[in-house]
Amino acid sequence: MTVMLGRTGMEITRLGFGSWAVSGSGWTFGWGATDDAESVAAIRHALDAGVNWIDTAAVYGLGHSEELVGKAIAGLPEADRPYLFTKVGLVWDPDNPSAAPRRIMKPASVRREVEDSLRRLGVDHIDLYQVHYPDTGESLEYAGGGFGAVSPNATPLEEYWQVMADLKAEGKVRAIGLSNHTPDLLEAAEQIAHVDAIQPPFSAINRSSAAEIAWAHAHQTGVIVYSPLQSGLLTGAFSAERTAGLPADDWRRAHHDFTTGLTANLQLAEALRPIAERHGRSVAEVAIAWVLAWPGITGAIVGARKAAQVDGWIGAGSCELTPADIDEIATAIALSGAGSGPARHA
């Protein structure tokens, strides 16, 4: 099953392969050591299973994720190539890879980044080019729960969104989008050039982007959400013991979802198990199906580091939850106290 991504003309599967987790270690927001051969195999397995788009970002693995995606699609016939979505605006210091990347969207930096991404991916255009975060000119401190202060040197949205529109007009990119931008910023961008797609976080735990999704729905803007499994917490396979055993270079060890919020999050994940059993599905598939049932959401980005992990969520696109299931999940959200945001759509 495919659905139209806003007004882009691209028909995408409801699930896309997310390549943050395959980015490897050695940078601030890595998931620990990975095996490149296994990563490429996971991407190809998802494509073989019918997924027709891959989401990545320049900053993932400091370019390594894009290179892996390029390897995974190299040699594929044009008709079999997936849509490639990547992101711009998180700039790292190659001399200090462990430092948090900075949020920079200066026009010259954006143009340098798009050329680098095209080279790493091995393509002549990018299907969806997304601004990763609003420009603050400062570092991204995701693991600590914040997103950095705004520097006086930050590039205004009006300036960087115009550059994105220019790249689209030049054919470097097919569509342009905004990730992690609030409704007021989305509205400001829309006055300059249509926002083809947005990419907010959204899961049964993190429901805080409901307003952005509603804005997109009203503006014929596609919505591809990230972290529908809340970085593994909603797979049904996580536990306090597994969390304690995460490697030191896995960003999740320091995040509040895996520390102060862990008990509530695991309680919610466990509440999905009876629903999964009724449907003959995995807990992960039910968690993603809940996301896909939210009005306005076009598709969900789901990651995997091994081919077998893809099999755990690939059926979510065909999992139809009943109104009673939705009610049960809303009750479980309330009882657990997990996350934030509305437990059901208006």
Q: What is the pLDDT of residues 200-249, one digit of tens each?
A: 999 999 999 999 999 999 999 999 999 999 988 999 888 778 878 778 87
**What local confidence, expressed as pLDDT, does residue 141 receive?**
58
Beta pairing class for 83-88 and 53-55:
parallel
The Cα 16–Cα 333 span in angstroms is 25
The Cα 270–Cα 73 span in angstroms is 37
Residue 146 has pLDDT above 70, yes or no: no
Are residues 114 and 84 in contact, defined by beta-carbon separation less than 8 angstroms? no
Q: Which candidate, 300, 296, 297, 295, places its Cα nearest to that of 317? A: 300
Average pLDDT for 162-182:
98
Q: Is 120 helix (H, G, I), strand (E, B) or coil?
A: helix
> Any catalytic annotation for residue 60?
yes
The Cα 149–Cα 127 span in angstroms is 31
**What local confidence, expressed as pLDDT, does residue 190 receive?**
98
Residue 331 has pLDDT above 70, yes or no: yes
**What local confidence, expressed as pLDDT, does residue 250 receive?**
77
Least confident range from 118-132, 200-214, 253-267: namely 253-267
The Cα 298–Cα 12 span in angstroms is 8
Q: Three-state secondary structure along 25-50?
A: CCCCCCECCCCHHHHHHHHHHHHHCC
Average pLDDT for 279-301:
97
**What local confidence, expressed as pLDDT, does residue 21 receive?**
86
**What local confidence, expressed as pLDDT, does residue 246 receive?**
79
Residue 192 has pLDDT above 80, yes or no: yes
Residue 145 has pLDDT above 70, yes or no: no
Q: In percent, how much of the chain has pLDDT > 70?
A: 96
Residue 283 has pLDDT above 50, yes or no: yes
**What local confidence, expressed as pLDDT, does residue 222 receive?**
98
The Cα 36–Cα 24 span in angstroms is 8
Q: Which candidate, 346, 343, 316, 319, places its Cα nearest to that of 332? A: 343
Average pLDDT for 310-329:
96
Would you state the structure tokens that stand for residue 34, as one six-digit string?
């990975």
Phi and psi (nearest 5°) for 206? -100, 95
**What local confidence, expressed as pLDDT, does residue 144 receive?**
38
Describe the chain by its helix, strand, coil percentages, rounded to 5. Answer: 40, 15, 40
Are residues 76 and 44 in contact, defined by beta-carbon separation less than 8 angstroms? no
Tell the residue number behind the tokens 């054919």, with chain if given.
Answer: 171
Q: What is the DSSP string of 42-89?
A: HHHHHHHTT--EEE--TTGGGGHHHHHHHHHHTT--GGGPPEEEEEE-
Q: What is the mean pLDDT of the chain?
A: 92
Residue 164 has pLDDT above 80, yes or no: yes
The Cα 285–Cα 280 span in angstroms is 10
Which position among 60, 83, 133, 226 bears the catalytic label?
60
Average pLDDT for 249-265:
81
Residue 267 has pLDDT above 90, yes or no: yes
The Cα 342–Cα 144 span in angstroms is 24
Reported confidence tier of residue 296, pLDDT bands at 50, 70, 90: very high
**What local confidence, expressed as pLDDT, does residue 140 receive?**
66
Residue 147 has pLDDT above 50, yes or no: no
Higher pLDDT, 254 or 57: 57
The Cα 102–Cα 133 span in angstroms is 10
The Cα 53–Cα 55 span in angstroms is 7
Would you state the structure tokens that stand for residue 252, as one six-digit string?
């999740």
Q: Which candidate, 17, 31, 68, 15, places its Cα nearest to that of 250? A: 31
**What local confidence, expressed as pLDDT, does residue 150 receive?**
56
The Cα 95–Cα 106 span in angstroms is 21
